[in-house]
Structure 1
């Protein structure tokens, strides 16, 4: 049991939030703002580092661009929420405790589990040992340093999803002396309508990115990658963006998880096996009318906000409301001054409408601008939670991230 609870705070309802990504940070700020001044509620945010990571912009960090430093304890100042720095190493759902760095045990009455996802480096041999990832700012900075020292050579980006596309485009634009190859099972922009996909692919061609789709990387070696069928491609640097995995801690704790290890939730984002546990962001398997949400930034902050609002409702003795979410767009940066934005139906299928070029780049920059000011505004005026897509409509677009 924690020192604080031994010190006479046994009656306080402790809400422990694990992970300070987009979802966890939103949950912490929203909840702290809503219970501020209430001595019978404690809000504690746990994260391995004090620096907030802008996952959406790590491809920029990877090419040597400087992003603003954002400090989590500084953000929490004046909210009443506490910050605990450390790695979560175990969750015990039976005793309602969390172990941090193996030497600290924190109790919770309500848990918000937001331990997100990282690049899946275990599925293909050699990725863990020889490939770079964009899991955090430190990873991105290591890649930036390697690219700056390379001078010439070939960079292979494994994975033709959105992260792979944006990373390949950014590297090609910032390092025209390098050969950039984008490898993946699907064509880049495969989920877009034909015109938007064609624009995206022509932009990659203009930047000099060599695209090969319909292939599978089966091994990563120190100076090459091997493809299914036996072909080998020389590579001075490999960036791995293909697939993600979540922490095994939820499954180890006995929480009901899906085949990918994500916590299965009810309509209000509570664990179906342990209702005192809310799951947010990439850590949650959230079912909507169109199916289970896939992990994107669009759903991160809304799940965090909804969890905070729901916890407040429960503290008042009220029933939490169902979470409803619809996708609105897929914005993809193609270097600094170009982009394509595919507008979507709530189920994420493509609409006919899309944007390209500088207008799309402006749009992308607007809706994915740093969430810091949004978090700061949340401290002063808690959101109603109505700033994400509803029924295909989108409101307060700048605050949607």
Structure 2
């Protein structure tokens, strides 16, 4: 019997747990899946939750039903990678032979005042609190910090759902700066249509209870501040002695094993995965493919085989602009923009297909199959 412990039950952790349970069923694998919440959170849709929309509820014990996986609810407090143990906040200690680390990242709160006064998307409960706070505002200003995909989607969603609120998007660069010129122009026009006030070239130096302070001393009033400017790996990885990069992500090899502790596999946002074009950035595209690859690598190792190398290539940058608009920038494998893009209703339909509930994907994995899109993403350049 091989004890396999999977920490984190987001998209990547659930996919990895189901895949490794199926792949090790005949070789005596025992899989336990640990998560702080008892429900599966569709993190890609937290901006919809912030805007007040109710999403489907998926209890994790039902999500993994029929796989033989044991679900353990608990928050990870620390790791002892030498003794191969994970410690939970309630004092329980879970031993393992092999570990898949899928705890993702948390918001970088290094700017003064962020931790105390800003709302973040680190979990479902925190997002609900943000939405409830917005419900109390009959008028006022919402500041969204960060012009990446999450910031743009949040600003657009909140502006559309709560037109009585003033929404200000503050960003150092241009919103959607990674997109091509035509897609960015469409994004800019959509934000103007929704009434989002965009300020570029700004650097926030401090978050206050009622606003944000910019470099130079200017104060921007805010009745609610949402922080989306960057993420970091959880401290547990670095504190355990695992080799991590500057952002606290676990550095892995070609098989997605920790370079310092090969009994630990890291996947999704929690892993620093190198490809020919650079290190993968946190994105839903890379999450599930890394989870599947780590599970396959682990299963191959248990069978005495050499795992194959992980390959990946990006294909798109999808951004929703409220419920009735979107823009999709198609990309090269290194995530640089191609000429092609989608906009309007066609883009809405496309994004709903690729961002729809992951339950169909999990059902395929239970049957020992991999979704076609995950195979396609994993066929990029090494």
What are the residue-to-residue correspondences of 1:196-345 with 2, within 5 Å? 196-345=183-332
* Contiguous gaps of at least 5 residues in structure 1: 1-11, 394-401
The aligned length equals 380
Q: Does the CA-based 8 Å contact 1:70-1:372 persist in structure 2?
A: no
In the alignment, what sits opposite 1:25? 14
- 1:106 aligns to 2:94 (yes or no): yes
CA–CA distance in structure 1, aligned partners of residues 233 and 145 of structure 2: 19
Q: Does the CA-based 8 Å contact 1:345-1:392 persist in structure 2?
A: no
- Determine helix, strand or coil for the equivalent of 1:255: coil
In the alignment, what sits opposite 1:157? 144
Q: Does the CA-based 8 Å contact 1:27-1:307 persist in structure 2?
A: yes
Offset, 1:119: 1.4
Offset, 1:104: 1.1
CA–CA distance in structure 1, aligned partners of residues 379 and 33 of structure 2: 32
Q: Does the CA-based 8 Å contact 2:21-2:29 persist in structure 1?
A: no
CA–CA distance in structure 1, aligned partners of residues 380 and 248 of structure 2: 29
Alignment partner of 2:76 out of 69, 85, 88: 88
* Cα offsets for 1:261-293 (capped at 9, x unmatched): 111111110011111110100110000000111
Q: Does the CA-based 8 Å contact 2:171-2:203 persist in structure 1?
A: yes
Offset, 1:162: 0.6
CA–CA distance in structure 1, aligned partners of residues 166 and 192 of structure 2: 12
CA–CA distance in structure 2, aligned partners of residues 129 and 69 of structure 1: 29
Offset, 1:37: 5.5
In the alignment, what sits opposite 1:46? 34
Q: Which runs of 4+ in 1 moved over 3 A?
A: 390-393
Q: Does the CA-based 8 Å contact 2:289-2:377 persist in structure 1?
A: no
Q: Does the CA-based 8 Å contact 1:33-1:382 persist in structure 2?
A: no
- Determine helix, strand or coil for the equivalent of 1:68: coil
Offset, 1:47: 0.6
* Cα offsets for 1:235-265 (capped at 9, x unmatched): 1111111111111111111111111111111
In the alignment, what sits opposite 2:106? 118
Q: Does the CA-based 8 Å contact 1:328-1:392 persist in structure 2?
A: no
Q: Does the CA-based 8 Å contact 1:298-1:327 persist in structure 2?
A: yes
Change (3 A) 1:345 1:224: same
Give RMSD over aligned pairs: 1.4
In the alignment, what sits opposite 1:78? 66
* Cα offsets for 1:291-325 (capped at 9, x unmatched): 11111111000000001111111111101110000
CA–CA distance in structure 2, aligned partners of residues 221 and 384 of structure 1: 45
| TM value normalised by structure 2 | 0.97
- Determine helix, strand or coil for the equivalent of 1:387: helix
* Contiguous gaps of at least 5 residues in structure 2: none
* Cα offsets for 1:367-392 (capped at 9, x unmatched): 01111121122112332885242556
